[in-house]
Structure 1
Amino acid sequence: MSNVGHTTTLKVCYDQWPPMTIFSTKDAPERGVVIDMVEQIYASKGYTLEYYEVPLARGLDMVADGLCDMLPEYLYSKNPDNGFVYANEATFSYATAFVVRKNDSWRYQGIQSLNGKRLATGPGWDYSSISVGYQHYIDDQKNANFVEVIAGYDDVVDRIFLMIKDNRVDLYADNDLVLQYVLNQLNLNDDLRIVRPGFENKLVEMPIFSRKISADKRQDLINIWNEGRLAMKGEKEQTLLNKYKVSLGK
């Protein structure tokens, strides 16, 4: 399977992370900022894109197995998995922020400011690249009563927002654009608010490409991405963000 159709078809695995990557439906065909970007970059070079909407762990396996050529957003690591190769140009470097109830005056002032707060996360989510201290806090068993791990397929963040509204947890940290989008989609601007600044480091997400592709082919795909992503900085990038009613400048 891994060698079929690589000449003109680009097989793209991606997980649900609105507004960056969205599982499309008949009624809502949009696929998100990042997928729109991938489509524009590769379609302009004659590629037809084939999409596989899967949980992140499954997408990583499919890239490693050669069932997908690429996954457009994965946390950058200096010691990557042997099953894939990173591009050079990041998809985005995201500022992080928190969401809390509207009447909560809490601000992030270092890890100690989390004490006594009930926070939500997803299973196996890794924050170590943006805040080693936050990851240690989540992993520390003595904080287990204050860390709620929300399992699920594609609606985890939506459910977390509703749990904060219902006073079941107090805060949640994520990419600022994700928080903006979900707040608008769920119409919760009267109930919740975004707290900035977030963590000290930005969240750097990179496209990854399968090692099952021939080295020449893979490098061609990476070069197309690198050049295309650079060319989209500025106005073209902002046009895509505007489509989903989010802003890097928030």
Structure 2
Amino acid sequence: MLFFTGTSISNLSHAKTLKVCYDQWAPMTIFPSEASNERGVVIDMLAQIYSSKNYKIEYYEVPLARGLDMVAEGLCDMLPEYLFSKQAEKNFVYANQATFSYLTAFVVRRDDPWRYNGIESIKGKRIATGPGWDYSSMSVSYQNYIDEPKNSNLIEVVAGNNDVVKRIFLMMSENRVDLYADNELVLQHMLNKLNLHDKLKIVRPGLEKKLLEIPIFSKKMPTKRRQELIKIWNEGRLSIKGDKEAMLFKKYKVTL
């Protein structure tokens, strides 16, 4: 009897722990530091949703590529934001409710009159991106241009364990790359954080479609547990709208 009781308690404890992998994508997802314990808009929202259902959350701060591997391997239960892709469906299960749908924009040097006007407008420009980053849901032609081997000398893939976006901004201010596309909120946040308004600027329009980010859940966990976690997310995300959303963004000094 003690054995079975102990096993049941252990399983219950495991069921109420949510392992979350996420990468640095401020202000949406942030790695805590000595200066601040803030984790970002999306992580704050996720914590509200699952804590209300008595889940304890364990965070694993890793680069995106590693986070995807850890979810696929079952080392993490979920990753809170990933773009939708048919290819990714082989390894993950998507929630029904997205985190957010983001407008995109570009950042360029302040003295550069460049504006995005389709693929012809980016030819000859040095473009920054990250390892494994996929823009196809926003613009298939932009992703194809980045993937084309003959353009590789103009594509700067910036890797690292910490804030890749910060490194890209600094590289651009040093004239090492020419442009970078991302979620407009991320660009706003980094420009303010680094105080580079005198060197860089955000330009619109961005890519053709919005960036839709959706939580992904591991296929390695039992189906019933995964369905429960997805149901909690879907219902919780629907409940955080309007003023509740606005309060989260206000905390990080950005507006959707």
Name the residue aligned to 2:225: 217
2-structure distance, mates of 1:166, 1:143: 22
Q: Secondary structure at the match of 2:145?
A: helix
Name the residue aligned to 2:82: 74
How do 1:160-179 and structure 2 match up within 5 A? Answer: 160-179=168-187
Deviation at 1:109, TM superposition (A): 0.8
Q: Secondary structure at the match of 2:234?
A: helix
CA pair 67-141 structure 1, distance change in 2 beyond 3 A: closer
Deviation at 1:82, TM superposition (A): 3.4
Q: Output the aligned Cα RMSD.
A: 1.7
State yes or no: 1:112 paired with 2:120: yes
**More deviation, 41-50/114-123:** 114-123
1-structure distance, mates of 2:226, 2:147: 37
1-structure distance, mates of 2:48, 2:23: 19
Deviations 1:223-244 (A, max 9, x none): 1111111111221111111111
2-structure distance, mates of 1:223, 1:153: 32
2-structure distance, mates of 1:187, 1:225: 36
Deviations 1:77-117 (A, max 9, x none): 23434332110000111111000111211111111111222
Q: Secondary structure at the match of 2:88?
A: coil
Deviation at 1:45, TM superposition (A): 1.2
Q: In the comparison of the two structures, how many residue pairs are matched?
A: 247
Residue 228 of structure 1 is aligned with which of 225, 236, 242? 236
State yes or no: 1:246 paired with 2:243: no
Residue 69 of structure 2 is aligned with which of 39, 43, 61? 61
Name the residue aligned to 1:149: 157
Deviation at 1:147, TM superposition (A): 1.7
Deviation at 1:199, TM superposition (A): 0.6
User: Which structure has the bigger radius of gyration?
Assistant: 2
Deviation at 1:123, TM superposition (A): 2.1
2-structure distance, mates of 1:146, 1:63: 32
> Does the 8 Å contact 2:65/2:132 carry over to 1?
no
Name the residue aligned to 1:6: 14
1-structure distance, mates of 2:29, 2:213: 12
2-structure distance, mates of 1:79, 1:155: 26
Residue 106 of structure 2 is aligned with which of 65, 87, 98? 98
2-structure distance, mates of 1:169, 1:114: 12
TM-score w.r.t. the length of structure 2 is 0.91
Unaligned runs of 5+ in 1: none
Q: Secondary structure at the match of 1:138?
A: helix
**More deviation, 169-178/143-152:** 143-152
Name the residue aligned to 1:202: 210
1-structure distance, mates of 2:142, 2:46: 31
1-structure distance, mates of 2:231, 2:147: 38
**Partner letter of residue 40 of structure 2?**
G
Deviations 1:18-46 (A, max 9, x none): 11111112321001111001001111111
2-structure distance, mates of 1:64, 1:143: 31
Deviation at 1:4, TM superposition (A): 7.8
TM-score w.r.t. the length of structure 1 is 0.93
CA pair 62-140 structure 1, distance change in 2 beyond 3 A: closer
How do 1:115-126 and structure 2 match up within 5 A? Answer: 115-126=123-134
Name the residue aligned to 1:159: 167
CA pair 147-62 structure 1, distance change in 2 beyond 3 A: closer
Residue 31 of structure 1 is aligned with which of 39, 54, 58? 39
Q: Secondary structure at the match of 1:6?
A: helix
Q: Secondary structure at the match of 1:134?
A: helix
CA pair 52-149 structure 1, distance change in 2 beyond 3 A: same
Unaligned runs of 5+ in 2: 1-10
